[in-house]
Amino acid sequence: VNSGKIDSATASSLADLATKTLIANDLGGYTVPTHGLYPFQWNWDSAITALGWMKSDESRAWQEIDVLFSGQWDNGMVPHILFHKDSDTYFPGPDVWGSDKKIKSTSISQPPVVATIMKEMLASAKDKALAEHKVKALFSKVVDYHLWWYNDRDPEKTGLVVTYHPWESGMDNSPSWDDALHAVPCVDWEYTRRDTSHVDSSQRPHKSEYDRFLYLVDFFKRNNFDSKVIYETCPYKVNDLGIIAILHRATKDLLKMGEQLGLNDDRTDYLAQRLQITEQAINTLWCEQSQYFYCRDVLTNSLAKVKTSAALLTVYAGLTSDEQTKIINTATEDFIESSQFSVASTHPKEEKYEPQRYWRGPIWLHINWMIAIGLKEAGFVTTANKIQDDTRNLVVKSGYYEYFNPETGAGCGGKDFSWTAAIALHWLL
Ligand code: 9YW
């Protein structure tokens, strides 16, 4: 146990609680983020949760990834939610999404962190034979998933994939989507949300956002999930820094794993070419005036000039020049200094910052982990360590909540949350 600034008894009781949280959220092969609020398998939650399972049960950790890929579409997409079993505690469920696949699912994806996680799992595995066997069995499916991102979401090879839904970004109500989402029509049918029956509505997205989230869900269904039609006509198309950075890092990690195990071929060579295009294109999201990266509304070709933590992930992706890396490190220090706990998802000095409302301010542990990895690798160890210490303080203070208030450190959203427990096990304890 690497207890850092906490004593080993506290660390081991927190580790014990985290393992129990995963076990309690295990539905047999996949882990729900938390019961009630999120009763299915979510894509990036599952990947991150596998890191936590590695500490207690490596074979269960690999199973999490296997089950995630069991829902992969023929075109390579790995959906954002897999509805393995029915539940009436979440809306919108499989009928609203309307996909006809063997395993019911949504028709969008989520930040593709899974290859990066698999690389971490391979490196830390005690059972190397199992890990290599699993990576070999999954490798081609992960390549398909990455090819889907580049070919379906960037068919014109701009270097920057597009996302079609705030849910796809995993950062549902980030202020980065406000303008792009505002241009989307509202659904014209009545519906009953379930999220606000589990969690206080002051912590959740507004109805005006949900109306548009649902319009888009309907839009995909009405267009029979046809990639070409949706690419040409989707009323919401965004270059999301979070997805772009996470995809870029994960593609590099996939190629490194492939090299290590002798699995690379012409398909991975093609992915390597796509990496190069992104390395050029990322600078179109850089604002010289504010010295910061922003997401872009592709339909209006305008940058969403609000400072969010997604931009800090460009260092983790290895997408920054030396000069930009320094600037992003300084920006991260500024995020850290601007609230009691860090890293706020929206900068506390932004007008749109709200400390309790989902992705408009609160801290998310897996994002902290990624930001810290990036800065540490780039040589900014002090900033990385500060983030790690702050993050540890949060779980000591508040336990395994979905996310945290940067001003008070209070836990918000769902309780007993899988990815929070997993990050604690992997990185903090
Ligand atoms: C939704 C499960 C998911 C996360 C997302 C987070 C939220 C809600 O919960 O999404 O309905 O998909 O924003 O990142 O994967 O924890």
pLDDT digits (tens, 9 = 90+) for 241-293: 999 999 999 999 999 999 999 999 999 999 999 999 999 999 999 999 999 99
**Percent above pLDDT 90 for the chain:** 97
Q: Give the catalytic positions in this structure.
A: 172, 402
Whether the Cβ atoms of residue 125 and residue 131 lie closer than 8 Å to each other:
yes
Ligand 1: distance of its center to the CA of 262 in Å? 35
* 306 band by pLDDT with thresholds 50, 70 and 90: very high
- Residue nearest atom 6 in ligand 1 by C-alpha distance: 170
Give the pLDDT of residue 254. Answer: 99
Distance from C-alpha of 376 to C-alpha of 136, rounded to nearest angstrom: 29
β-strand partners of 38: 34
Burial degree of 7 (CB within 10 A; 0-12, 13-18, 19+): exposed
Provide the ipTM: 0.98
Residue 414: both structure tokens together = 């769902």
Q: CA of 179: how far to CAs of 173, 238, 353, 392, in Å?
A: 11, 10, 15, 35
Ligand 1: distance of its center to the CA of 56 in Å? 25
Given a cut of 80, is residue 64 above it in pLDDT? yes
Give the pLDDT of residue 4. Answer: 52
Give the pLDDT of residue 246. Answer: 99
- Please report where in the chains the tokens 């890293």 appear, as a residue: 343
CA angle 422, 258, 48 (to 5 degrees): 10
pLDDT digits (tens, 9 = 90+) for 3-52: 457 999 999 999 999 999 999 999 999 999 999 999 999 999 999 999 99
Residues with CB under 6 A from ligand 1: 33, 38, 42, 44-45, 167, 170, 172
Mean pLDDT for the stretch of residues 176-180: 98
Give the pLDDT of residue 189. Answer: 87
Position in ligand 1 atom list of the atom nearest CA 44: 15
pLDDT digits (tens, 9 = 90+) for 121-161: 999 999 999 999 999 999 999 999 999 999 999 999 999 99
- Residue nearest atom 5 in ligand 1 by C-alpha distance: 170
Ligand 1: distance of its center to the CA of 128 in Å? 32
- Residue nearest atom 14 in ligand 1 by C-alpha distance: 170
Given a cut of 80, is residue 296 above it in pLDDT? yes
pLDDT digits (tens, 9 = 90+) for 80-122: 999 999 999 999 999 999 998 989 999 999 999 999 999 999 9
Distance from C-alpha of 6 to C-alpha of 386, rounded to nearest angstrom: 14
CA angle 139, 141, 142 (to 5 degrees): 65
Strand extents, DSSP E, 216-275: 238-239
Structural domains of the chain in order of their starting residue, each with its CATH number: 8-428 (1.50.10.10)
* Mean pLDDT of all residues belonging to the chain: 97
pLDDT digits (tens, 9 = 90+) for 324-375: 999 999 999 999 999 999 999 999 999 999 999 999 999 999 999 999 999 9
Ligand 1: distance of its center to the CA of 83 in Å? 14
Torsion of CA 188, 167, 308, 306, to 10 degrees: -30
Give the pLDDT of residue 2. Answer: 45
Position in ligand 1 atom list of the atom nearest CA 195: 11
